[in-house]
Amino acid sequence: MTTEPAHHLWHADPYAREATARLLAVTEDGAVSLDRCLFYPAGGGQPGDTGVLTWAGGSAAVLDTVKGGDGAPLLLLEAGATPPAPGTEVVQHLDWDRRYSHMRVHTALHLLSVVIPLPVTGGAIAAGKGRLDFDMPEAPGDKAALEDALNALIARDLPVTQDWITDAELAASPGLVKTMSVQPPTGQGRVRLVRIGQGADQVDLQPCGGTHVARTAEIGRVALGKIEKKGRQNRRVSLLLAET
């Protein structure tokens, strides 16, 4: 097993709401990079985090977080913001309610791929809701039964943990990859796996770079929305958190 760099704080501690850091650089567009980043950069269908960056004598709203050309997170600040000079100590303040909603939805979508064991062709996450697209030629006959099965998995309060494997180990286990349209990022030497359940109670294991709750019961009840046809063999299944 390999390990995640400690400066990726969204993985090291996804429940952290504030963290100090050192500003490394400011791009020509005014985006900033940090030596240790709390904010999740958009990817894998999960939006980038937002919040506020403060420093001695100043502050700026963080409107989005994206990956730069080298894959490192870049914080996009509000228009007109003047970030401090490189080397300045800053404090990251996460929009926690938004992030936690994304964590709950993302974990729920992993469980949705368990109750609908078909290849995933796409997906998206938003606050309080999300969707997966499946290679599903025919619509399921009983949506209520799928919803009941999904909520039963959530209610089992299964632990959600992470492991790291090498690119070579992933290549030797292609069955771990459920997504058809997006492949796990490789080339960094390591790939993160998200596991739901342990031992005989394990229900899911797949590559994922997003943030997740620690136990499935944190998701709460969910409701399945429309099941829409998207192309000849694709169907989109939406879900909503009961409490957002």
**Chain segment 215-236, per-residue pLDDT in tens:** 999 999 999 998 999 888 899 9
Looking at this protein, which amino acid is placed at residue 66?
V
Does residue 23 sit in the same domain as residue 63? yes
Does residue 85 sit in the same domain as residue 119? no
Residue 174 lies in a domain: yes
Residue 153 lies in a domain: yes
User: In this predicted structure, what is the pLDDT of residue 228?
Assistant: 92
Does residue 16 sit in the same domain as residue 49? yes
Residue 52's contacts (CB-CB under 8 Å, 6 or more residues apart) are 59, 60, 61, 62, 93
pLDDT in tens, 21-59: 999 999 999 999 999 999 999 998 999 999 999 999 999
Which of 94, 120, 155 is the endpoint of a domain?
94
Residue 137 lies in a domain: yes
Does residue 234 sit in the same domain as residue 214? yes
Does residue 77 sit in the same domain as residue 118? no
Which of 94, 116, 140 is the endpoint of a domain?
94
User: In this predicted structure, what is the pLDDT of residue 99?
Assistant: 98
Which of 94, 113, 134 is the endpoint of a domain?
94
Does residue 75 sit in the same domain as residue 106? no
Lowest mean pLDDT among 60-64, 152-156, 170-174: 170-174
Confidence at 1, pLDDT banded by 50, 70, 90: very low
Backbone Cα Rg of the chain: 19
* Mean pLDDT (whole number) for 90-118: 97
- Percent of the chain whose pLDDT exceeds 70: 87
Domain count within the chain: 2
Does residue 83 sit in the same domain as residue 104? no
CB 75 within 8 A of CB 65: yes
Does residue 119 sit in the same domain as residue 196? yes
CA–CA gap between residue 116 and residue 169 (Å, rounded)? 26
* Domain ranges, residue 56: 9-94
Does residue 55 sit in the same domain as residue 144? no
Q: Is residue 187 over pLDDT 70?
A: no
Which CATH number goes with the domain that contains 160? 3.30.980.10
Q: Which residue has the higher pLDDT, 83 or 189?
A: 83
User: In this predicted structure, what is the pLDDT of residue 233?
Assistant: 85
Q: Which two tokens stand for residue 52?
A: 């506020």
Does residue 83 sit in the same domain as residue 151? no
Residue 4 lies in a domain: no
Instruction: Please write down the HEC assignment for all residues of the chain.
Output: CCCCCCCEHHHHCCCCCEEEEEEEEECCCCCEEECCECCCCCECCECCCCEEEEECCEEEEEEEEEECCCCCEEEEECCCCCCCCCCCEEEEEECHHHHHHHHHHHHHHHHHHHHCCCCEEEEEEECCEEEEEEECCCCCCCHHHHHHHHHHHHHCCCEEEEEEEEHHHHHCCHHHCCECCCCCCCCCCEEEEEEECCHHHCCEEEECCCCCCCEHHHHCCEEEEEEEECCCCEEEEEEEECCC
Q: Is residue 127 over pLDDT 80?
A: yes
Residue 140 lies in a domain: yes
Residue 2 lies in a domain: no
